[in-house]
């Protein structure tokens, strides 16, 4: 065994060879649906394998996304970079195969690398010895997968595989494990389509939660910004209701599970209630298929003596609204959308049954993986390894605030950026499409929001105009501008943005 000093106070015995790494990523599987994050749903969620990882590893309570939408988050995870650095701003952007990623670094350092499941970054994956990925979003039932042999960019190509997507991903993951080069450590990425809309699930879960009436988030009946001081509408649950009703009327019952659906004759409140109950049941059933297949792979590691020297990480690419603020989807700099659930298990090193409160970002994942692989953090990675944090050995200069920016402007969900620390959050909705692919060209009026997360943890009240917070807000504006400059995200050269900043920050700041 090798004795490694991870800090001046901590020494850990490690195998002389780097550990295997199993990185499991799901789509939108928000923390409220994991059963381990103190959600109103916790007492009903059946996720025994996620809960097993939590018992046998460490749960991270404050992991945040720097741009809460699927493609950019996946780009940040692989590159360790903010969107403005890697050029992946919106759903339409792609990861250039020539760009450096943590997969390439691990591959070059001697790891055998594989990627199975959802890719979503358009161009052919690079840095993976083996990949089998969906065209685009992929399908839930009998999905197509494409490999190096039949690659086409974007949503094209692939061969059909029989079964439910999460099950196929689990089976193909085990198939790869059985054929890998046992002389090398592995970096294996198992990426699920679930729990992305339309929240489908295999038939074995048809009756799961059938008799359950789920508790509701207290802000479920928020029908608009009038009650909370927000400046935008957001993606309300009524959007999902309308989609179900439209598919029911068109007799297209294959797109969404559990149709037909109707709210005819119901008040807005009762329609919201009915929509929420179906939404949560579908979402949790979809998540149960992820859990099944995590368990399948964990059992394989146990049975083949691989569990002890394998770092297992399970996370989601961002959070998701499950009715909070009356919303669905993600994108916004609110806690439900921003927070990434994260659990890590490594029996040789990581304490079990513990929780970590430190502020971690998705740009940090690449640095952590490099640390476990015992390679120097690549120069292109903007994030930091949090390996020592997992021991409670957090460095004195660890971040105490974070920067967020969402670029895919829509009038109901305007483009915005902001800053969050352990208590306060300041958001600026600049409301401009800029040159972003897929953005709505209609701009919105710039607006501010401010939340005291201690006094108002659910972000029910925009306190930007509250007299008692004006000094704090002024300080946070200074910090926000300084952080944008430090990170190189200044919108310099854009006359419209410069004009907005001078009006809504102050001439002195810009």
SS3 373: coil
- Which pLDDT score is estimated for 506? 75
- Which pLDDT score is estimated for 225? 85
- Which pLDDT score is estimated for 430? 98
- Which pLDDT score is estimated for 253? 72
Q: How many helices (H) and strands (E) does the chain have?
A: 11, 20
- Tell me the sheet residues that pair with 355: 59
pLDDT tens for each residue of 54-111: 999 999 999 999 999 999 999 999 999 999 999 999 999 999 999 999 999 999 999 9
Residue 344 phi, psi (nearest 5)? -135, 135
- Which pLDDT score is estimated for 228? 86
- Which pLDDT score is estimated for 10? 52
Predicted model pTM:
0.95
Bridge-based pairing state of the strands 354-356 and 58-60: parallel
Contacts of 139 (CB under 8 A, 6+ apart): 165, 193
Please list the ranges in the chain whose pLDDT falls under 70.
Answer: 1-16, 507-510
Instruction: Give CB contacts under 8 A, 24+ apart, made by 436-439.
Output: 436/89, 436/90, 436/407, 436/408, 436/409, 437/89, 437/90, 437/92, 437/93, 438/90, 438/91, 438/92, 438/408, 439/90, 439/407, 439/408, 439/409, 439/410, 439/415
What are the residue ranges of helices labelled H in 339-413?
365-372
Of 308, 398, 306, the closest CA to residue 361 belongs to: 398
Q: Name the packing angle between helices 237-249 and 268-303 (round to 10°).
A: 90
pLDDT tens for each residue of 106-121: 999 999 999 999 999 9
- Which pLDDT score is estimated for 170? 98
- Which pLDDT score is estimated for 8? 44
Contact between 63 and 34 (Cβ < 8 Å): no
- Which pLDDT score is estimated for 2? 46
SS3 404: strand
Which domains, and CATH codes, for the chain? Answer: 19-201+282-392 (3.40.720.10), 204-277 (no CATH), 402-504 (3.30.1120.10)
- Which pLDDT score is estimated for 7? 44
């Amino acid at each position: 065994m090798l004795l490694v000093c991870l800090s001046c106070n901590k020494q850990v015995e490690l195998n002389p060879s780097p550990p295997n790494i199993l990185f499991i990523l799901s789509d939108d599987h928000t923390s409220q649906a994991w059963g381990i994050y103190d959600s109103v749903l916790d007492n009903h969620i059946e996720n025994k394998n996620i809960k097993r990882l939590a018992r046998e590893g460490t749960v991270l309570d404050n992991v945040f996304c720097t741009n809460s939408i699927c493609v950019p988050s996946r780009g940040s995870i692989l590159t360790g970079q903010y969107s403005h650095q890697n050029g992946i701003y919106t759903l339409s952007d792609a990861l250039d195969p020539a760009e450096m990623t943590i997969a390439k670094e691990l591959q070059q350092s001697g790891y055998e690398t594989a990627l199975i499941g959802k890719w979503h970054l358009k161009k052919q994956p690079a840095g993976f010895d083996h990949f089998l990925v969906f065209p685009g979003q992929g399908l839930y039932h009998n999905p197509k997968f494409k490999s190096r042999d039949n690659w086409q960019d974007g949503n094209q190509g692939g061969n059909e595989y029989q079964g439910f997507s999460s099950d196929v991903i689990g089976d193909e993951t085990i198939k790869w494990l059985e054929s890998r080069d046992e002389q090398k450590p592995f970096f294996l990425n198992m990426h699920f389509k679930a729990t992305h809309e339309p929240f489908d699930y295999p038939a074995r879960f048809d009756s799961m939660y059938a008799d359950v009436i789920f508790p509701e988030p207290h802000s479920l009946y928020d029908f608009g910004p009038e009650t909370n001081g927000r400046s935008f509408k957001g993606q309300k649950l009524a959007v999902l209701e309308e989609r179900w009703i439209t598919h029911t009327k068109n007799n297209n019952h294959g797109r969404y599970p559990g149709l037909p659906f109707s709210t005819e004759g119901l008040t807005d409140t009762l329609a919201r209630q009915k929509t929420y109950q179906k939404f949560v049941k579908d979402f949790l059933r979809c998540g149960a298929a992820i859990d099944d297949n995590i368990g399948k792979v964990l059992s394989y590691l146990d049975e083949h003596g691989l569990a002890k020297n394998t770092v297992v990480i399970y996370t989601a690419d961002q959070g998701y609204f499950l009715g909070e603020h009356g919303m669905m989807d993600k994108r916004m700099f609110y806690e439900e959308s921003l927070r990434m659930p994260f659990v890590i298990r490594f029996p040789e090193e990581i304490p079990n049954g513990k929780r970590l409160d430190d502020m971690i970002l998705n740009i940090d994942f690449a640095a952590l993986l490099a640390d476990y692989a015992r390679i120097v953090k690549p120069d292109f990675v903007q994030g930091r390894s949090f390996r020592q944090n997992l021991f409670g050995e957090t460095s004195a200069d660890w971040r105490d605030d974070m920067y967020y920016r969402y670029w895919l402007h829509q009038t109901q969900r305007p483009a915005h950026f902001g800053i969050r620390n352990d208590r306060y959050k300041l958001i600026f909705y600049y409301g401009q499409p800029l040159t972003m692919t897929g953005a709505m060209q209609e701009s919105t009026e710039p607006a501010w929001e401010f939340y005291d997360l201690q006094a108002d943890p659910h972000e029910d009240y925009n306190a930007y105009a509250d007299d008692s917070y004006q000094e704090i807000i002024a300080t946070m504006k200074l910090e926000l501008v300084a952080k944008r400059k430090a990170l190189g995200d200044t919108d310099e050269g854009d006359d419209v943005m410069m004009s907005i900043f001078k009006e809504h920050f102050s001439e002195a700041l810009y």
